[in-house]
A = this chain, B = another copy of it.
Amino acid sequence: MGRDKAWTVEAVAERLGVTPRTLHYYEEMGLIPNVQRTPGGHRLYDEETIERIEHILRLKDALGYSLQEIRSILSTEDQLRTYRERIREGREPEHNLHMLEESVRLLEDVLQHIDEKMAKLAAMREQYLDRLARIRARLDREALHRSLDKPIDSEGQ
């Protein structure tokens, strides 16, 4: 089972642009279960766990979800993964239909959330692009004035 490079808290924290405390806190909140440990108790993060944390940070920063909401989203996704594995093992899970439907509902909610946010952002983008264009035009006029009013002054230290 190959690529099990282990990362320390500080390494992961620096890589993801957060502090160790944040990683501890997420674990404490139940967002990242089953973090590996050294015999002495130091945390070790594998690539899969780091990707999970990156997912958490995207849900938080880009979508603005609270950690509680993220936990519920992740737990549903975890349930789904568990379900997949049970299927692969040939076991017959109960309540699979219900669970699948719930997953669909959750994913649709998240997608709608994403779409709404993208729409808002697109509108704001247009608005700000417009403003920027106007100011740039004015800046050009300003520069023109100066070049006419004052003597030529290229490369003034």
Contact = CB atoms under 8 A, between A and B. Distances in A.
Given A104-B139, A135-B80, A121 B124 contact: no
Say how many copies of this protein the assembly contains. Answer: 2
A107 interface: yes
A132 to B, nearest CB: 5
A74 to B, nearest CB: 13
Interface of A: 58-59, 61-64, 80, 96-97, 100-101, 103-104, 107-108, 110-111, 114-115, 117-118, 120-122, 124-125, 128-129, 131-132, 135-136, 138-139, 142-143, 146
A142 B97 contact: yes
A121 B132 contact: no
